[in-house]
Amino acid sequence: MNFYNLYNLIENQNFFKNFSFIDKIITQTHAKEIYNLLLGMFPEVKQSIDYQYRDESGKPFAEWRRMIFEIENHVLTGPEIIDSKLINIDHETNKDRKEKFDQYVKDKQEGKYAQYFRKDMSDPRTVDLAKMPPITVIEENGVYDIVDGAHRAFLAKRLNKPLNAYIWKQRNNNHPNVAKIKALFNSQP
């Protein structure tokens, strides 16, 4: 378990006790409003918000729900280049990405259909990581835990290459939209 997951379990039990309420506020009741508030807060990272805020089912990625709930303690910056050596990929995720990579290579060698990335047909063995969309990480004491982009991070670590990344940084966020988002959590549905 990486530090970010451990932090989730220990530091803020309120998040877990009220997850269904929080999930409803972020994904159903006020999804568009929160999206617009995030864009107002972090206009320079619109690409990340557009991509990450809505998963295949139209909901924010689970990791983003956590950041949104604790928005007063986080800012989103980037993209900037980070050293892949500083990216933390937990053992289970790393194992899964290695299996997917190995399966891709095997399928290609056997002439079968193969796809490594979710929405991209690029060959992971030859992909130019500098041309891929930035990953998203949370920075903690100079180490980066993956929020989104584990496939790309796995490849970067494997090739010892840097990556572009949007970075959630833990710091006080006093933007006026923080109070507006927090007020949504204090409202009763």
Residue 11 pLDDT level (bands cut at 50, 70, 90): very low
In 3-state terms, what secondary structure has residue 116? coil
If pLDDT is split at 50, 70 and 90, which confidence band does 181 have? confident
pLDDT of 92-137, one tens digit each? Answer: 999 999 999 999 999 999 999 999 987 788 899 999 999 888 998 9
Alpha helices by DSSP H, listed for the chain, are: 3-11, 13-17, 19-24, 31-41, 46-52, 62-69, 91-109, 150-159, 176-186
Instruction: State percent of the chain over pLDDT 70.
Output: 78
Q: What is the pTM of this model?
A: 0.77
189 pLDDT tier (thresholds 50, 70, 90): low
Please tell me the class of the 82-169 domain: alpha beta
pLDDT at 8 (0 to 100): 47
Domain ranges of the chain: 3-75+171-186, 82-169
User: What pLDDT does residue 70 have?
Assistant: 83
